[in-house]
A and B are shown apart, each in its own frame.
Chain A
Amino acid sequence: MLLDPSLRRAGLAALSALMLSTAPAVLLAETPPDTLVIADAIDDIVSLDPHEAYEFSGLDVVNNVYDGLVELDPAKPGEPIPGLAESWAVAEDGMTFTFKMKPGLTFSSGNPVTAEDAAFSLQRAVKLNKSPAFILNQFGWTAENVDSMVTAEGDTLTLKTDKVYAPTFLYNCLTAGVASIVDKATVMANEANGDMGNEWLKNNSAGTGAFVLKSFKPNDGYLLEARAGHWRGDAAVKSVFMRHVPEAATQRLLLEKGDIDVARELTPVDIEGMAGNADVKVQADVGGQIFYLAFNQKNENYKNAKFLEAMRWAVDYQGMADTFLKGNMVPHQAFLPKGYLGAMEDLPYSLDIEKAKALLAESGIAAPKVVLDVRNAADRMDMAQSIQNTFGQAGITVELNIGEGAEQLKRYRARQHDGTLQSWGPDYPDPHTNASAFAMNADNSDGASTGGLAYRNAYDPGELHAKTEAAVAEGDAAKRKAMYEEIQKTHRETSPFIVMFQIGYQSAMRSNVEGFYTGGAIDSAAYWLVTK
């Protein structure tokens, strides 16, 4: 619609008249039928280079634009399925892995996908040495040796590791974004100052994924366009448009009006407020973060098994999850989040004040007092107050030490806290990520500072350390799973950790949207299965 020249005298009256007369005509009330429009807070994106991206929003893009040798099934993640490799095998020595590439696949540039591209990609990730590179470094790969450890010949990619690891450990790590396969020719054609195309890949894509990155504006949004003839079959939508909308109330309004198809950052209050609106539906899923209490064993009280057990029975897990944490947290009582190999979903502990009191009496600790460090965030304060209340009923006085997150983290790392309420998110899609943090501590002496959680609580895991080391080298997947279950069981009964919750996510969407997978605790969002 053209501007009437007579309205050019831009007075307020003229402007508002223009507005009122033209607005309804220019508003496109609904999203385009072949486009999925999502609202999310995406200001965490650092880079869209798959070998650098290491944050939730960035990995969502990587997952849809690139593929790996092996992948997770978005509909039921947990077990690797073929990606760009059609088969793989491990040699007798347990240190040589071979991957046979699927024939006939192409990058979005039209170039064929070769084992050479795969080798280049893994080498590039190691050589760039950005945040997620450590996931690959775990196999003994360094910038110096990776060219000889990762090699290609014909249609076969060979990976050598520095010692024996569980094959599932390697496969799981290869499903991470950092192991995405990029188009060597295209990437190197866009190299500048020896950056292996890093600067270019921040805003462009060169992958085999179901979508191609069309545009990206930091703190604003991105646009993905579906590739025709993708090896998984064409995506149901032609494009995906992500809008950065940080405000939950704003997202809700957009969703209810139909201006977006999916809202990913709604609060439980918004979710509840939308109940009864037939145009929208809510999908609940879990994320990888777990919330736990930890106690510093420099305080002898926290070595007392009876006292630790008393505290485990003095937490109102279900009560919190049903009230103020509704939808935000799901009760969970082991260090591997649901979705991981070996994760335990049973909930042996529940609030039982009498039992806690009895155990406390048995412990022989009179009038115990816990100083609990809590970050000054609303949900954590609510949790801490509930714990203060139920611990109090059981005869354990809790004093809250509320402070800023980074400052508390400093105390935690320096083992200066007494008790603390914390969260932990896994780093890669393998159980070793959390197992090594919670159940390994090679050197418990002051100043060792391994960064692990066991160390931070001066907790010597004893035999669990060796068992965790054995689990990451176990070749048999079923046995490996059983080992993690055993480690977690012992851990939750003896360690000074009380795992309480796994984070929950609620995505709200228009009722016609189907097949939207958020990736759960392990993987990233998948857009190629979405229909609307």
Chain B
Amino acid sequence: MTISPPASSKLGARLRGLGSVLLSLAVTLFGLLLVTFIIGRVVPIDPVLAIVGDRATEAQIEATRVALGLDQPMWQQFFIYAGNALQGDLGQSIRTGEPVIEAVARAFPATLELATLATIMGVLAGVPAGVLAATRPGSLADHLVRLVGLMGYSMPVFWLGLIGLLLFYGVLDWVGGPGRLDAAYDMMYDFEVTPVTGMILIDTALAGRWDMFTNAISHIILPAGLLGYVSMAYISRMTRSFMMNELSQEYITTARVKGMPEWRVIWVHAMKNVAVPLITVVALSYAYLLEGSVLTETIFAWPGLGSYITDALLVNDMPAVLGGTVVVGVAFVLLNLFSDLLYKLVDPRAR
């Protein structure tokens, strides 16, 4: 017999739960800002010299130092940095003088589009593959899934990207080349499509420009497929191990003994429990794609956050690098939070 607690304390527990989630979010963000701040100060790059350049006089150097607040004590500099960041001011790019947040806002949709499509592919391919391997351990299918997964794990993505481009674009002509659209479409794009989300697939679809939409698909399919492959490698391996674990549980045996059809045992009963840890896996993989597509974006000339950070890194533009990193970090934290919430929704025990 269970005694239900009074409603007010239930609400209290919920609020406490929300409070602790928000607190951990705040602590994580604080830590993130602290770490990026320290990295920014530890790297042997003088931000003043990077801004004023080779030709400046001592007076100009000193003026810039003061303007950047570098004459303040370190802890004070941190609080200025953190305070600005909380208000959405991630500083100015040294290279272009543009507010970092604006550049990031422009680049992020391209990355989001790529990572989302890749994750969808990774889940759609990875989960069935993992289940297939788990239900027939030791079979040819199992070995195949593991081999394909291992390759996705161990090959450098940029290498796979180049090979993929050479083969599918260079030789076979099956897909579009680097960039988000063919040059001809790219030129028209700004004038014929209203930017709504910044994601080309969605914006062209909204505008009813199916020719551009298909062209955009032909461009995104290879980088997304590639990242999806890497994501699939991870998801299929985790699915396999979760599923194997679940299938050895007593309730599964009970269900089978009762004569429940096998597909129902796997896809309904076991999957319900596999889904819980899998959410975290997918969220992690998604977050990894948001930050880990740096090299892929460079190879595919994809104007996303990854190539923005790479370009900035190559010219020692630390505010841009750190600002981009903070945004990726925030996305990471939010995804984690989201997966936690979803977790609680799916798994009654976690409520």
B303 touches A244 (CB 8 A): yes
- Tell me whether B50 is interfacial, beta carbon within 8 Å: yes
Which residues of chain A come closer than 8 Å to B170, judged between CB atoms?
253, 256-257
Query: CB-CB contacts of A22-50 with B at 8 A, as 1s and 0s?
Result: 11101111011001010101011111000
Give the Cβ gap from B200 to chain A, nearest Cβ, in Å.
12
Binary flags per residue of B100-126, CB closer than 8 Å to A gives 1, else 0: 000100110000000000001100110
The answer, yes or no, to whether A404 is at the interface (CB within 8 Å) is: yes
What number of A-B contacts does a CB cutoff of 8 Å give? Answer: 166
Residue from A23, A220, A241, A449 in contact with B183 in the complex, judged by beta carbons closer than 8 Å: A241
Contacts of A215 in B (CB 8 A): 190-191
Q: Kindly specify which of B173-181, B284-292, B337-345 makes contact with the partner chain.
A: B173-181
Interface hits, A214-235 → B, CB 8 Å = 214-215, 217-221, 223
Nearest CB in chain A: distance from B229 CB, A: 10
B11 at the A/B interface (Cβ < 8 Å)? no
Closest chain-B Cβ to A46's Cβ sits at a distance in Å of 5
Closest CB in chain A relative to B59 CB, distance in Å: 9
Q: Among residues 54 to 74 in chain B, which have CB atoms less than 8 Å away from a CB atom of chain A?
A: 54-58
- A237-256 Cβ-contact flags toward B at 8 Å (1 or 0): 00101011111011001101
A2 to B217, CA, bound (A): 13
| CB atoms of A241 and B187 under 8 A apart | yes
- Residues facing A in B294-327 (CB within 8 A) are 298-301, 303, 307-308, 310-311, 315-316
Contact across chains for A19 and B183 when beta carbons are under 8 A apart: no
Does residue A10 face the partner (Cβ distance < 8 Å to B)? yes
Q: Is A451 an interface residue (CB 8 A)?
A: yes
B55 and A451: CB pair below 8 A? yes
| A427-B54 Cα distance, complex, nearest whole Å | 11
Q: Are A11 and B311 in contact, CB atoms less than 8 angstroms apart? A: no
A1 within 8 A of B: yes
Residue of B nearest to A240 (CB): B187
- Rounded to whole Å, the gap between the CB of B293 and the closest CB of chain A is 14
Chain A residues with CB below 8 A from B57, complex form = 449-451
Say which one of B144-152, B208-216, B242-250 lies at the interface with A: B208-216
Provide the residues of chain A in CB contact with B316, threshold 8 Å: 405-406
Bound: A489/B280 CA distance, A: 70
Residue A278 at the B interface, CB < 8 A?
no
Interface presence of A460 (CB below 8 A): no
**CB-contact partner of A19 in B46, B97, B217, under 8 A:** B217
A257 to B310, CA, bound (A): 26
Contact indicator A249/B162 (Cβ below 8 Å): yes
Contact B55 A27 (CB under 8 A): no
Which of A15, A44, A409 has the most chain B CB atoms inside 10 A of its CB? A15
A218 touches B221 (CB 8 A): no
Give the residues in chain B near A217, CB-CB below 8 Å.
106, 190, 303
B186 contacts chain A at the CB level, 8 A cutoff: yes
How near does chain B come to A455, taking the closest CB pair, in angstroms? Answer: 11
Given known A-B contacts A243-B183, A407-B44, A253 and B211 have beta carbons under 8 A apart: no
How would residues 332 to 354 of chain A score, 1 for a CB under 8 Å from any chain B CB and 0 otherwise? 00000000000000000000000
A218 touches B55 (CB 8 A): no
Whether A23 pairs with B49 at a CB distance below 8 angstroms is no
| A10 surroundings in chain B (CB, below 8 A) | 120
Partner of B178, one of A28, A41, A43, A253: A253
Q: Complex Cα distance A241/B182, Å?
A: 11
Residue of A28, A247, A404 most packed against chain B (CB within 10 A): A247
Is residue A410 within 8 Å, beta carbon to beta carbon, of the partner chain?
Answer: yes
The residue from A241, A246, A260 contacting B310, defined by CB atoms under 8 A apart: A246
CA distance A26 to B212 in the complex (A): 9
- When distances are taken between beta carbons in the complex, the residues of chain A under 8 Å from B107 are 219
Specify which of A2, A46, A241, A250 is in contact with B96 (CB 8 Å cutoff): A46
With beta carbons under 8 angstroms apart, the residue of B175, B178, B185 that contacts A254 is B178
Given contacts A250-B300, A250-B301, A410-B46, contact A23 B311 (CB under 8 A): no
Distance between Cα atoms of A359 and B307 in the complex (Å): 52
Nearest chain A residue, comparing its CB with the CB of B176? A27
0/1 string, A447-467, CB within 8 A of B gives 1 = 001110000000000000000
Quick check: A245 and B187 within 8 Å, CB to CB? no
Given A2-B210, A249-B299, A257-B169, the answer on whether A406 and B49 have CB atoms closer than 8 Å is yes
Q: How far is the CB of B192 from chain A (nearest CB, A)?
A: 12
Whether the pair A407, B46 counts as a contact (CB closer than 8 A) is: yes
**In this complex, what residue of A is CB-closest to B221?**
A19
Would you call B77 an interface residue if the criterion is a C-beta within 8 Å of the partner chain's C-beta atoms? no
List residues of chain B with CB within 8 A of the CB of A26: 176, 211, 214-215, 218
Q: Is A259 an interface residue (CB 8 A)?
A: yes
Q: Could you give, for residues 151-185 of chain B, a 1 whenever the CB lies within 8 Å of some chain A CB and a 0 otherwise?
A: 00000000000100110011001111111001111
Task: Determine whether the beta carbon of B311 is less than 8 Å from that of A1.
Answer: no
- In the complex, what residues of A have CB within 8 A of residue B176's CB? 23, 26-27
A17 to chain B, nearest CB (A): 11
Q: Which of A32, A39, A249 has most B Cβ within 10 Å? A: A249
Q: Is A18 an interface residue (CB 8 A)?
A: yes
Flag A255-290 by CB within 8 Å of B: 1 or 0 each: 011011000000000000000000000000000000
Question: Is there an interface contact between A27 and B186, defined as CB atoms closer than 8 Å?
Answer: no
**A422-458 to B contact mask, C-beta < 8 Å, 1/0:** 0000010000000000000000000001110000000
Asked whether any CB of chain B lies closer than 8 Å to the CB of A109, the reply is no
A20 at the interface (CB under 8 A from B): yes
- Please determine whether A257 and B177 come into contact, CB atoms closer than 8 angstroms: yes
A28 touches B165 (CB 8 A): no
CB neighbours of A220 from chain B (8 A): 303
User: Does chain B have a CB within 8 A of A478?
Assistant: no
Contact A32 B184 (CB under 8 A): yes
Set of chain B residues within 8 Å of A410, measured between Cβ atoms: 46, 49
A257 contact set on B, CB distance < 8 A: 169-170, 177
- The answer to whether A427 and B55 touch across the interface, beta carbons within 8 angstroms, is yes
Contact A241 B175 (CB under 8 A): no
**CB neighbours of B299 from chain A (8 A):** 247, 249-250
Which residues of B sit under 8 angstroms from A12, Cβ to Cβ?
Answer: 121, 124-125, 228
**Closest-CB distance, B48 to chain A (whole angstroms):** 9
Most chain A beta carbons < 10 A, residue from B98, B178, B300 = B178
**Given A43-B311, A243-B179, A451-B56: A253 and B45 within 8 A (CB)?**
no
Please indicate the chain A residues that have their CB under 8 angstroms from the CB of B308 in the complex.
219
Counting CB contacts under 8 A, is B269 at the interface?
no
- Give the CA-CA distance A97 to B140 in the complex, in Å: 86
Q: Which residues of A contact B165 (CB under 8 A)?
A: 250, 253
CA distance A380 to B224 in the complex (A): 37
3 closest pairs, A vs B, by CB?
A220-B303, A43-B311, A245-B301
Q: List 25 A-B contacts (CB under 8 A).
A: A2-B210, A16-B221, A19-B221, A28-B182, A32-B184, A41-B311, A43-B311, A46-B95, A46-B96, A218-B106, A219-B103, A219-B303, A223-B187, A241-B187, A243-B183, A243-B301, A245-B301, A250-B298, A250-B300, A253-B165, A253-B169, A253-B170, A253-B177, A257-B170, A427-B55
11 further interface pairs, Cβ-Cβ under 8 Å (given A15-B217, A19-B217, A26-B176): A10-B120, A32-B183, A45-B96, A46-B95, A214-B190, A214-B191, A221-B186, A223-B187, A243-B179, A247-B299, A449-B58
